[in-house]
Structure 1
Amino acid sequence: MNMSRALPVFRSLALLALSALLAGCVSVNPMRWFDSEKPATPPAALTEVANQIQPRVLWQANIGGGADDKLLKLEPAIHDGRVYLANAQGQVEARNAANGALHWRLDTNSPASGGPGAGEGLVVIGTHKAEVIALDAAKGTKRWQARVSSEVLSVPRIGRGLVVVHTLDGKLVALDAASGEQRWQYGHEVPVLSLRGNSSPVIHDGSVICGFANGKLASLDLASGNLNWEVSVGIASGRTELDRMTDIDADPLVLGDRIYVVTFQGDLAALSVSDGAVLWRQKLSSYSGLGGDGHQLYVTDAQDQVRAFDPQSSNHLWKQSKMQYRRLSAPTPFGGYVVAGDYQGYLHWLRPEDGSLVARTRLGSSAITARPKVRDNRLYVYGDGGDFAVIGLGN
C-alpha cells in the first residue's frame, strides 16, 4: 500500500479517473492513493533514537476489530472516570480510567464508523449503516437508535440535551439526547471529489462548530441550529476537481477565544470564536489535524511533517521531517513534549522547543490514526487494530 500523501505523486493517475468521478460524489481514502505494492514515495526509515525519557504503560487492553485502513473516526472517549472504546464491528466497552477494569461490554451488531462520544449519561456511536446508537453510560444498555442520511465518519458530540453528528454527505444533524428524534439539520453539498472522512463537531459555549468538505467552517446555535457565522477557510482553485479539493477533515481546535482549523490544499487559520473573523492564515495542507496548548500550535501536514506555530502571531517556529510519509496522527502536547503516532504503531516524542526527537515507543503493530488524548496527566492512545494503552511519565 502506498503511504505517500504528496499530490504530485498521484496527480496524473487521479486525472485519468476524473471522468468516472464526475458522475457523482466520490470520497477518497488519502491513505490508499494507489494499490501498488511499491510506494512512489516510501515512508521515512526510522533512525535510531536513544530515549531521553521513559514513558510508562500504566495499563493496556485490546478491543479487537479495529479500523485498519478504513479511515474510520474511532477514538477513546474519557468521561467521569471511565474510558469508552468502540471497534469497527460495533462492540463498545467501558473501562475504569485508573486501572482498566472492565465495567461493561456490548455488541451493537452494527459496524461502528465514528465515536464514541460520551456525556450526559450517554455513550454514542455512529455507524457505517447511517445509524446513531446511544447507550446508557453506566449500564451499557441501548437507550435508542436513530437513522441519519449517510455514514457517520465523525465523533458524535453531546451537550445541552442534544447529540450532534456530522454525516459523510455533508449534513450536521442534532438529535434529542433523550429520544433520538431529530431537532435540526444543517449542511452543504459535498464536492464531486473529496477526502474520505469528516471533521467532528465541537460544542462550545452554546454553539456547535464544524468544518465541511467544501472548506467552510460554520458556527451554529446549538439549541436551534440557526447559523451564527460561516467562513471559507479553504478556497477552491485550479482547473480540475482534484486541484479544487479543500476538505476540512481535521477537527477544529478551540483555545480560549480562538478557534484553529486546517484544510487539505488550503490554509491553517485562526478565527474568532464569537464572529468567525479570520485573525491570521498560513498556506498549509493537512488532514491529520492539529493540537495545541495555548503556548504553541502543532500540525501534521500532508507530507507527515510536524510543524509548530505561534498561535498568536502565526509565526512558523520549527519543522520535524524525520517521519515524512509515515502517516502520522495529529500531534498532542503531553507532559512537556509533543506526541504523534504513525502507521506502524510507533509513538514519536518531540521536544516542543525545537521539534527534536527525544524518544520513540510502540503501542502495537497497527497504525495510530486517532490523535492521542490527554486527561489528568495521562496519555490515552488507540491503535487502528484495537490496541489501547494509557501512558504516564515520571515515577
Structure 2
Amino acid sequence: MNLFPIMTSSAIVSAVRRSQRSLISAVALGVVAAALTACGSTKPQPAPLENLTPTQKVSVLWSQRIGSADGFTNLAVTGTTVAWATTDGQVVSLDATTGATRWRGQVDAKVAAGVGSDGRYAAVVTTENELVVMDQGKVLWRDRQPGRVITAPLVAGERVFVQGVDRSVRAYDVKDGRWLWQYQRPGSDPLSLSAPGLLQPYRNTLAVGQGSRLVGLDPTRGSVLFDLSLGTPRGTNEVERLADLVGPGARVGDSICVRAYQLSVGCVDMSRGRLVWTKPQTGAAAVGASASLVVGADSADRLSAWRTDSGDVRWRVDRFQYRGLSAPTVWGELVAVADHDGYLHVLSAADGRTVARISLDNTLSAAPVLIDNILIVATRSGTVYGLRAN
C-alpha cells in the first residue's frame, strides 16, 4: 500500500526569513501582474467565440450550489468522492456520481487555501494563516502557520503537508497536529510566485516545487530523494527569472507533468527520479495530461498538445487567444478547458477541433478533475458541476 509511515525529524527555517520572503513574493506578484496586463488601452482583446455546430454531446449530470469561491481553491479527489472549500469556510465532500453530500463542515473563518482531503480527513488554511484539520467535517485541531499559504494542503498517509508561499513545506500528524518536519531547499530563489505551487504525492514520494525545480522528498523525514530542473530561467532581473512550478501537476502513471511559470512544460519519471522531457512555453496555468497527451496554454492562451512519452508536438490552436484559459483536462478522447467568461470548451484530443461548448455560471475557481469519466468543475459563484460526455 502507498501509505506514508509516521516518523519525525527536524529542519527549521527562521520565521523572520519566511516572513521576509512572503512579503517579497507578494511584491513580485504585483510587478508580474502589472507586466502581464500592461496598460488598459493596449490590452489585447479576447478572440471572439467561434461559430460552432456541436458534434459531441456534453450534459450536466448534476450540480450543487454551495458558496462563492473567489480565491485559490482545489478539488481534492479520493476514490469516487471530491472535496471542496468555499471562501466563507464551508468544506464539503460530495459523491462524484450523484453530487450527494457525504459530509459538510465549517471552519468559522475565511479560507485562503483549500482543500486537501483523503476522503475522511480534510485540511484548509485560513486568511489568518491558521491550518484547520477536520475529520468528516468536525474540526480536530488548528495550528498557526509562520507565513502566508495559498497552496491547498495535502492530506495523505495520515499526514498533512503544508506549502507556504516561500515554498517551504511543513508536515504534521493528521490526528493530533504533532509537528513532524520542515523542508526548504538551500539557496532557493529569492522570489516566489504568489499562486498555488506543486505539492502532491507519488507512491511513497512527496513531489514539491522549489522554484523551477521539482524535488522528491521522503515524506517520513523530509529528506531529499531527487532534485530536478525543468529549465534555467533567463532575464535581466529576479522578476523576469521567476519560474515557480505551478500546481497541480498532472499525474500519468509513473510520471508527473507540470508547468514552470513563464518557462517550460515537462514530464518527470517519479519512479526513477529523472526528467523525461521539457519544452519551452511561457504560461501561468497548470497543464492536463493523459497516457498519450499533455496539453497546456501559453501566456496568450494558445493551446499546445504534446506526446506524453516524447514531448513531440501533436497540435496547436490559437482560436482562444486572450480568453483567460484555465488548466485543461484530458477527458478520454476529449480535452476540456474553460475561459474567463465561464464557457467550457470541449476539443477533440486527436486534432484540437472544438466539438462542444457549454456555459457555466462563472469562471472556474479550481482546476477541473476527472472521476470515473465524470468531469468535475467548480466555479467562483460556488457551483460544483458533474459533467458527462455522451
TM class, shorter-length: 0.7 to 0.9
Deviations 1:207-263 (A, max 9, x none): 100113x21210000111111011222312221223211121232333233332221
Within-5 A mapping of 1:173-184: 173-184=170-181
Within-5 A mapping of 1:69-80: 70=71, 72=72, 74-80=73-79
Within-5 A mapping of 1:177-196: 177-188=174-185, 191-196=189-194
Q: Match for 2:78: what amino acid?
A: H
How many residue pairs get aligned? The number is 365
Within-5 A mapping of 1:81-92: 81-92=80-91
Match of 2:67 in 1: 64
After superposition, the Cα gap between the structure-2 partners of 1:36 and 1:237, relative to the gap in structure 1 and judged at 3 Å, is closer
Aligned-pair distance for 1:369? 4.4
Q: Match for 2:198: what amino acid?
A: S
**Are 1:270 and 2:281 matched, yes or no?**
no
After superposition, the Cα gap between the structure-2 partners of 1:352 and 1:81, relative to the gap in structure 1 and judged at 3 Å, is closer
Q: Which moved more, 1:294-303 or 1:262-271?
A: 262-271
Aligned-pair distance for 1:310? 0.9
**Are 1:141 and 2:132 matched, yes or no?**
no
Inter-partner Cα distance in structure 2 for 1:393 and 1:238: 43
Match of 1:337 in 2: 334
Q: Match for 1:201: what amino acid?
A: L
Q: Match for 2:350: what amino acid?
A: E
After superposition, the Cα gap between the structure-2 partners of 1:87 and 1:80, relative to the gap in structure 1 and judged at 3 Å, is same
After superposition, the Cα gap between the structure-2 partners of 1:345 and 1:190, relative to the gap in structure 1 and judged at 3 Å, is farther
Aligned-pair distance for 1:300? 1.9
Higher relative contact order at CA 8 Å, sep ≥6: structure 1 or structure 2?
Answer: 2
Aligned-pair distance for 1:149? 2.1
Inter-partner Cα distance in structure 1 for 2:347 and 2:279: 23
**Are 1:131 and 2:130 matched, yes or no?**
yes
After superposition, the Cα gap between the structure-2 partners of 1:95 and 1:280, relative to the gap in structure 1 and judged at 3 Å, is closer
Structure 2 residue matching 1:170: 3-state secondary structure: coil
Match of 1:208 in 2: 206
**Are 1:371 and 2:367 matched, yes or no?**
yes
After superposition, the Cα gap between the structure-2 partners of 1:377 and 1:261, relative to the gap in structure 1 and judged at 3 Å, is closer
**Aligned-residue CA RMSD in angstroms?**
2.3
Inter-partner Cα distance in structure 2 for 1:345 and 1:268: 25
Match of 1:51 in 2: 54
Which among 299, 304, 308 is matched to residue 301 of structure 2?
A: 304
Aligned-pair distance for 1:359? 1.1
Deviations 1:41-81 (A, max 9, x none): 122121221111121111112222211xx4x1x12223354
Aligned-pair distance for 1:360? 0.8
Preserved contact between residue 155 and residue 200 of structure 1 (Cα < 8 Å):
no
Structure 2 residue matching 1:251: 3-state secondary structure: strand
**Are 1:106 and 2:102 matched, yes or no?**
no
Aligned-pair distance for 1:198? 2.6
Aligned-pair distance for 1:162? 1.0
Preserved contact between residue 335 and residue 393 of structure 1 (Cα < 8 Å):
no
Structure 1 residue matching 2:183: 3-state secondary structure: strand
Preserved contact between residue 229 and residue 275 of structure 1 (Cα < 8 Å):
no
**Are 1:391 and 2:377 matched, yes or no?**
no
Structure 1 residue matching 2:162: 3-state secondary structure: strand
**Are 1:197 and 2:198 matched, yes or no?**
no
Inter-partner Cα distance in structure 2 for 1:81 and 1:268: 29
Q: Match for 1:40: what amino acid?
A: K
Q: Match for 2:291: what amino acid?
A: G
Match of 1:290 in 2: 287
Inter-partner Cα distance in structure 2 for 1:382 and 1:27: 28
Runs of 5+ consecutive residues of structure 2 not aligned to the other structure = 1-20
Structure 2 residue matching 1:252: 3-state secondary structure: strand
If the length of structure 1 is used for normalisation, what is the TM-score? 0.85
If the length of structure 2 is used for normalisation, what is the TM-score? 0.87
Match of 2:6 in 1: none
Q: Match for 1:79: what amino acid?
A: T
Preserved contact between residue 234 and residue 247 of structure 1 (Cα < 8 Å):
no
Preserved contact between residue 80 and residue 371 of structure 2 (Cα < 8 Å):
no
Aligned-pair distance for 1:38? 4.7
Aligned-pair distance for 1:361? 0.5
Q: Match for 1:121: what amino acid?
A: R
Inter-partner Cα distance in structure 2 for 1:123 and 1:105: 11
Structure 2 residue matching 1:28: 3-state secondary structure: helix
Which among 376, 381, 387 is matched to residue 380 of structure 1?
A: 376
Aligned-pair distance for 1:302? 2.0
Match of 1:244 in 2: 241
Percent identical among aligned pairs is 26
Inter-partner Cα distance in structure 1 for 2:303 and 2:260: 15
Inter-partner Cα distance in structure 2 for 1:130 and 1:181: 17
After superposition, the Cα gap between the structure-2 partners of 1:82 and 1:269, relative to the gap in structure 1 and judged at 3 Å, is closer
Preserved contact between residue 90 and residue 109 of structure 1 (Cα < 8 Å):
yes
After superposition, the Cα gap between the structure-2 partners of 1:81 and 1:261, relative to the gap in structure 1 and judged at 3 Å, is closer
Runs of 5+ consecutive residues of structure 1 not aligned to the other structure = 1-20
Aligned-pair distance for 1:192? 4.8
Q: Match for 2:387: what amino acid?
A: I
After superposition, the Cα gap between the structure-2 partners of 1:38 and 1:182, relative to the gap in structure 1 and judged at 3 Å, is farther
After superposition, the Cα gap between the structure-2 partners of 1:320 and 1:166, relative to the gap in structure 1 and judged at 3 Å, is same
Inter-partner Cα distance in structure 1 for 2:248 and 2:282: 14
Structure 1 residue matching 2:325: 3-state secondary structure: coil
